[in-house]
Structure 1
Amino acid sequence: MPNPSSPLLSAYLALGTVLQPLAPWLLKRRLALGKEDPARWREKLGHPTLPRPHGPLIWLHAVSVGEGLSVLPLLTRLVASGATVLVTSTTVTSARLLADRLPKGCLHQFLPSDLPGPVTRFLDHWRPDLAVFVESEFWPRLLRDSKARHIPMVLVNARISDTSARNWRRVPGLARAILSGFTALTAPEPRVAALLAELGADPARIRTTGSLKRGTGRLPVDAVALADLRDAIGNRKTWLAASTHPGEEEVILDAQHALSDRLLIVAPRHPQRGDAVRDLITARGLTVAQRSRQEPIAADTQVYLADSLGEMGLWFDLCPVAFIGGSLVPVGGHNAYEAVAHGSAVVTGPQVSNFAALYDSLLGAKGAVMVRGAPSLAGAIRAFDDPAIRTAQTTAATTVISAESDATAETAALILSLLPR
């Protein structure tokens, strides 16, 4: 890792050496609990299950489902250049989804544990010509050892929430040691670019490109599932609460009590919370059907709990209005690009620091509505019953998004320019 060094970094690396013998035991324990892939868990120890292809190899790490799906257009551009891309992620769910959606020319492996043996075996086998990290996934040993092998490293679509920034400021030496190792960094907005420089990245290496999530367009939609759900819903009005978090679902359900003439679809940010959200719904006196339990939507269903992965496009297509979660609690909000791409009117809470520039533009152009509690949320949803109001908002939102720069093209060009020839 580049200078300046960090005592915390040194301590982390030393601790990894000490704990390394426990890694196989911990992974086998997770395997027994169904949290690892039986055929591929050894990839996390640095034992590959695929050969390295000939020619230039770009290694791109996207920690989980959201990051992986957001870079699909970028991956398409990269493989079109003739390079092969090794995509790594950490979760079994992300591996399953990406297996169906990665463009031809991409390979997938699990990221190795950030320990001496796994990292060495991974880098020895794959010998990447360039490493790309998406958003905010920093594994110090991987970064340090990649740098030691003179592998150019790029941080793309960097994401630093207000909470993350406060935490990094408490360990300035570690932040500088990590961020100064990147050959190039791209930020979705000026606020993030300024934070990267403040925390230790070389300002000359930072480029503000806009968000990669802008380039994702419409999400995949299962046409058969869409038709079946539309038949089940019938003529009822619908609205969506997308990517919700603990603490705001109570507000959303309180709003639903004032919207009893329509069906609410709740899609938690983390579907594994499905049963907990179900308990919350029933405690609020609302009838629920749960996706993961394959429960059908009945005439008296008030809330459909969409606790599944990879189906957000389906929920947007079913709902003309979408509340984007993570915005009524201090999470920082989630992107509105997908909702706009599907033609849903956008409603948000005030806590949107993760996408501040986007929401500033949307709100300024009347392409989104901000709410602060259950009464205003219910009022906003009901206001969009007027087709003219809904059309005006979705048109304004589309205009805002269309005016943004093409971050995918710029990021792909930057990555390819750094690929050794």
Structure 2
Amino acid sequence: MSERWARTILTAYRWAGAAAYPAVGAYVAFRASRGKEDHARRRERYGKASVQRPQGPLVWVHAASVGETTAIIPLIERIAAMGIHVVLTTGTVTSARLVEERLQGRVIHQYVPLDLRPAVNRFLNHWHPDLAVICESEIWPMTILQLGARRVPQVLVNGRLSDRSFAAWTKRASLAEALLENLSLVVAQSEVDGERFRALGARPVVVSGNLKVDTSAPPADDNLVASLREQIGRRKTWAAISTHEGEEEIAVEVHEMLKTRHKDILTIIVPRHPDRAAALETMMTARGFAVARRSRNDPITPETNVFLGDTIGEMGLYLRLTEIAFVGKSLTGEGGQNPLEPAMLGTAILSGRNVQNFRDSYQRLIKNGGARLVRDRDMLAGAVNFLFNNEAQRQDMIAAAARTVGDMRGSLERTLVALEPFIQPLMVQAQLEYDPKKL
């Protein structure tokens, strides 16, 4: 694809979005009816702000969903502590709840505007950001182009390109370059990600490591953890977390295979999408399983076979109930899920082989002995059985995972150093506006 064709495509995208804008109301309303949009705040998706812009310098930070939001919260806290206003946009209801819980009014939260010219322009006309910080891999053409047209510096932090995304952009290299040339800086997670961004035309690119390593371990209510541990007693437990379709059935089959050797086994299953819980419970009960669902506050009794973690934001609770965690989207899915939370919370980590999206983290964990990859259901059952029977090896894996996380820390400070040329002038401006005597 030539540069001329890339510009033509982006122009067509701009006009197609403008033409489609009047019809998006039905789309947003449909999503709201299914709980995927906040009905009371759906106007924000059209760029219509729900609060006034504060005076002084302001940074717009965007994080798509819960994972990205969790990763970037420490960075946001550091920026806000400098006296700089932050408007944080996210795209999901669950991430909005997380912002409310974790940041408690220290930043302004808005839902991200649709990537359509009228919505993006309305958003930018209201907020007038001095800097835009995008987390991970959210590349929205209209937003990037409109920020570029207004000469607002744009920085991609914790940047990541999966194998699939990189292959797709490589086929459209000129289009990728036409977008990425608008970025003032890319702060990539790993050397592989950095090379991929450079290959697509991003300049400059620095590598910081993964911001998720510098977050604190996911919290949990101590009293609730203690209560559930008391209900579990001395039973052997293992968890299958962030599971995708097909992996829950595998976990159930692993339970059946292990029950002949470990009669008191309790399996904890935490699906990536809790709205599948009812169907999963039906599947399990049809196989004779007694299921306790967290969303119903069901007690874990001696008869309970599976504790179904069908809530959002309680991974810290589930991981504190076991020392063995299989991380999903890695046997039946593609790309894997983040293994860092299990590493932080004292578990030996198991995973399927499809972990391309978290390759760097898994390579480090495997090299240090904190994680093992399994090929299929039988190998997973064998690994769980081995860890049940070998306390010393299990504790070695747990310790190795914790050491790996410790060795990987420092991304937050490296990211702040990379952002300093953009943040420092805003911090000075904020200080001057706070104290006019410094003028």
- TM-score tier after normalising by the smaller chain length: over 0.9
> Where does residue 32 of structure 2 map in the other structure?
31
2:234 aligned with 1:232: no
TM-score, length basis structure 2: 0.90
Q: Distance in 2 between matches of 1:233 and 1:162?
A: 41
- Conservation of the 8 A alpha-carbon contact between 2:188 and 2:209: yes
Following TM superposition, by how much is the alpha carbon of 1:285 offset from its aligned partner in structure 2, in angstroms?
Answer: 4.1
Q: 1:303 aligns with which of 303, 306, 330?
A: 306
Conserved? CA contact 1:216–1:338, under 8 Å = no
CA distance in 1, matches of 2:79, 2:22: 37
Q: Choose from 381, 384, 392 the match for 2:387.
A: 384
| Structure 1 residue aligned with 2:431 | none
Q: Distance in 2 between matches of 1:382 and 1:193?
A: 39
> Once the two structures are superposed, what CA deviation does each residue of 1:361-384 show, in whole Å capped at 9, x if it has no partner?
211221212211122212222222
- Residue 113 (structure 1) shift: 1.3
1:104 is displaced (CA, Å) by: 5.4
Tell whether the 8 Å contact from 2:214 to 2:409 is kept in structure 1 after alignment.
no
1:243 aligns with 2:242: yes
Of residues 278, 292, 298, the one that matches 2:281 is: 278
Task: Please report how far the alpha carbon of residue 185 of structure 1 lies from its aligned counterpart in structure 2 after TM superposition.
Answer: 0.7
CA–CA separation in structure 1 for the residues paired with 2:117 and 2:110:
18
Larger Rg: 2
Shift of 1:265: 0.8
* 1:194-233 → structure 2 map (5 Å cutoff): 194-202=195-203, 205-233=204-232
Give the conservation status (yes or no) of the 8 Å contact 2:343–2:402: yes
The SS at the match of 2:270 is: strand
Does 246-255 or 343-352 show the bigger shift? 246-255
d(CA) in 2 for partners of 1:358, 1:32? 38
Distance 1:78 1:255 in 2: 46
Which has the higher mean CA deviation after the structures are superposed, 295-304 or 181-190? 295-304
Q: Which amino acid aligns with 2:314?
A: E
For residues 23-73 of structure 1, the C-alpha deviation after alignment (integer angstroms, 9 at most, x for no partner) is 233323433444332331111111111111122111110111111112121
Mapped to 2, the partners of 1:170 and 1:144 lie a distance apart of: 20
Q: Distance in 2 between matches of 1:301 and 1:157?
A: 41
Number of the residue aligned with 2:412: 408
Query: For 2:353 and 2:94, how far apart are their aligned partners in 1?
Result: 31
- 1:417 to 2:421 alignment: yes
What's the offset of the Cα at 1:283? 4.6
More divergent stretch after superposition (228-237 vs 238-247): 228-237
1:133 and 2:131 aligned:
no
The answer for unaligned runs of 5 or more in structure 2 is 427-439
C-alpha distance in structure 2 between counterparts of 1:249 and 1:186, whole Å: 36
Select the residue among 340, 343, 348 that pairs with 1:340.
343
Which residue identity is paired with 1:244?
A: T
1:59 aligns with 2:63: no
Are the equivalent residues in 2 in contact too, given 1:242–1:269 (CA < 8 A)?
yes
Distance 1:142 1:90 in 2: 14
Aligned counterpart, 1:255: 254
Q: Deviations over 1:197-228 (max 9, x none)?
A: 222323xx111111011111311112232123
CA distance in 1, matches of 2:120, 2:83: 27
What amino acid sits opposite 2:298 in the alignment? E
The one-letter code of the counterpart of 1:286 is F
AA of the residue aligned to 1:387: E
Deviation at 1:351, TM superposition (A): 1.4
Match of 1:11 in 2: 12
Distance in 2 (alpha carbons) for counterparts of 1:119 and 1:392: 51
User: Which stretches in structure 1 are left out of the alignment for 5+ residues?
Assistant: none
Using a 3 Å threshold, how does the CA distance of structure 1 residues 44 and 367 change in structure 2: closer, same or farther?
A: same
Report what 1:288 is aligned to: 291
* Contact persistence 2:244–2:333 (CA under 8 A): no
Matched, 1:117 2:118: yes
> The residue matched to 1:267 in structure 2 has which SS?
strand
Cα distance, 1:145–1:23 mapped onto 2, change above 3 Å? same
The separation in 2 between residues aligned to 1:132 and 1:347, in whole angstroms, is 34
Taking only aligned residues, the RMSD between alpha carbons, in angstroms, comes to 1.9
Is the deviation greater in 306-315 or in 382-391? 382-391
One-letter amino acid of the counterpart of residue 349, structure 1: G
Counterpart secondary structure, 1:59? strand
